[in-house]
């Protein structure tokens, strides 16, 4: 068994199950040191960790998730042993001479600059799929990459999980460094910024912290909402932000909500965040999910048929879940020596071939409203009204889910269409239906029936 390939697939699944910060902390330096078969469909897998702290942390927090993922991918029962050992590949890099930059080619210089700025490779404008749900954010990010510090400063992107906020942020950094690898850029999570400033205060190294952050030409902070409620952290970020803007530096921020809705965020920070360009990135619609599926497959060297990509796209509404499903699909095909076709996809999705093909993209919001009203035999006045009885509330939540996920309408627009409701009500409805969809076959059948009624 190819241990590197197996571990890459395992980490791919884990990455979509935990936060990016936790993944970076616990799993980024792990690797498989050995696999020993013990018979009767069982094997022992030894996992190398860079320190006893990491080994103990994974064993306490994630051993169940890790074991389930290994069992699913390998088709065997796996016992896990954690050992403290350095990854040979990382050690080999550490042993190389420090000052060899001038001998490298242009591409290697950019790669080195990306690593220095904590920027993951592979996130570019070229492999970012664009549709109506993210077109404005994509255009704004490209404008910032062309003219950082002047186009939109700050650029504030917000939206749900997996809509492409981080991808666009890192694509800006990639483009900027391709033009000038000497530009000082830095990417960090809001949680990481918080930890660093707390450590700097504790260790009396705030001067070093300030020098590091306030001399940047491009600062990117993911999940900025994590600094809310932390007085000292907000104070430092306020002064860092002001200094960067005064010196012509570019700031890009992401969050799961707009600045005005981040609780316990100081008003002076809210006003500065809103002074630039704030853009909502909606969940991807059907066409965008299909494009993402094709792009992610191509990155792994696999060309999918269009009907296969569309089947995946209409049944999975999150790009991260699509990526996780592709990992499972490719692993199943490789280990079972199977062809990736519509039959294998529908089998893994747990649906029939006919059901998969029945899904189509709704044509308009009014058609969706009519279809939901007809399917549940409800009058539009009742469906869009104030009643909270279960027989009406559930169809209304399904209506909001389809308008948001399949049509990609903004939260405010969905709320307006469904009786003038607040966008938080729409968010709650979408989250509830999304959570129950994989567990409730009756709910799946209802949504399938509604979509059949509005297919072109």
Going by the annotation, the residues of the binding site for ATP are 162, 164-166
Cβ within 8 Å of residue 225, ≥6 positions away: 190, 255, 256, 257, 262, 265
Q: CA 292 to CA 284: how far, in whole Å? A: 9
Q: What's the DSSP call for residue 27?
A: T
Other C-beta atoms closer than 10 Å to the C-beta of 456 total: 7
Instruction: Look at strands 42-49 and 185-189 and give their pairing.
Output: unpaired
Cβ within 8 Å of residue 343, ≥6 positions away: 353
Binding residue numbers: 162, 164-166
Residue 44, φ and ψ in degrees, nearest 5:
-110, 125
Query: Which ranges of 126-230 would DSSP assign to H, the alpha helix?
Result: 135-146, 165-179, 190-203, 206-214
Q: CA 109 to CA 181: how far, in whole Å? A: 7
Q: Let me know: does 156 contact 255? Beta carbons within 8 Å.
A: yes
Give one DSSP letter per residue of 341-385, joined into a string. Answer: SHHHHHHHHT--HHHHHH------HHHHHHHHHHHTT--HHHHTS
Q: Cα–chain-centroid distance for residue 26?
A: 18
Q: CA 419 to CA 427: how far, in whole Å? A: 15
Task: Return the CA Rg of the chain.
Answer: 24
Instruction: Look at strands 31-39 and 42-49 and give their pairing.
Output: antiparallel
């Amino acid at each position: 068994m190819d241990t590197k390939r197996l571990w890459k697939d395992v980490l791919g699944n884990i990455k979509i199950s935990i936060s990016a910060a936790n993944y970076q902390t616990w799993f980024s330096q792990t690797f498989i040191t050995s696999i020993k078969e013990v018979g009767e469909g069982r094997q022992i897998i030894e996992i190398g960790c860079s320190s006893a702290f990491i080994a103990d942390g994974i064993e306490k927090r994630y051993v169940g998730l890790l074991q389930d993922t290994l069992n699913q991918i390998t088709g065997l029962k796996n016992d896990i042993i954690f050992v403290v050992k350095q990854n040979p590949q990382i050690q080999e890099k550490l042993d190389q001479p420090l000052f060899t930059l001038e001998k490298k080619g242009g591409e290697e210089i950019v790669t080195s600059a990306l690593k220095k700025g904590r920027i993951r490779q592979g996130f570019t404008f070229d492999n970012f799929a664009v549709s109506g749900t993210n077109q404005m954010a994509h255009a704004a990010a490209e404008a910032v990459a062309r003219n950082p510090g002047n186009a939109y400063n700050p650029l504030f992107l917000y939206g749900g999980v997996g809509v492409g906020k981080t991808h666009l942020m890192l694509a800006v950094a990639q483009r900027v460094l391709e033009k000038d690898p000497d530009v000082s850029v830095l990417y960090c999570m809001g949680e990481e910024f918080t930890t660093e400033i707390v450590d700097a205060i504790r260790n009396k190294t705030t001067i070093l912290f300030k020098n590091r952050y306030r001399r940047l030409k491009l600062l990117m902070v993911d999940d900025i909402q994590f600094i809310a409620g932390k007085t000292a952290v907000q104070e430092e970020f306020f002064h860092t932000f002001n200094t960067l803007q005064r010196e012509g530096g570019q700031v890009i921020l992401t969050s799961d909500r707009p600045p005005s809705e981040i609780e316990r965020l100081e008003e002076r920070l809210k006003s500065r965040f809103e002074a630039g360009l704030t853009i909502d990135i909606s969940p991807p619609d059907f066409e965008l999910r299909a494009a993402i599926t094709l792009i992610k497959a191509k990155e792994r060297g696999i060309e999918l048929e269009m009907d296969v990509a569309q089947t995946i796209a209409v049944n999975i509404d999150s790009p991260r879940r699509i990526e996780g499903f592709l990992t499972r699909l490719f692993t199943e095909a490789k280990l079972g020596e199977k062809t990736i076709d519509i039959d294998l996809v529908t089998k893994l999705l747990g649906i029939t071939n006919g059901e998969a093909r029945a899904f189509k993209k709704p044509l308009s919001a009014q058609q969706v409203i009519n279809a939901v009203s007809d399917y549940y035999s409800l009058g539009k006045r009742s469906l869009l009204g104030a009643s909270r009885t279960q027989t009406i509330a559930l169809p209304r939540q399904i209506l909001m889910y389809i308008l948001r996920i399949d049509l990609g309408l903004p939260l405010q627009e969905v709320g307006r269409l469904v009786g003038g409701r607040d966008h938080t009500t729409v968010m709650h409805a979408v989250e509830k239906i999304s959570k129950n969809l994989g567990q409730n076959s009756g709910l799946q059948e209802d949504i399938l029936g509604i979509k059949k009624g509005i297919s072109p």
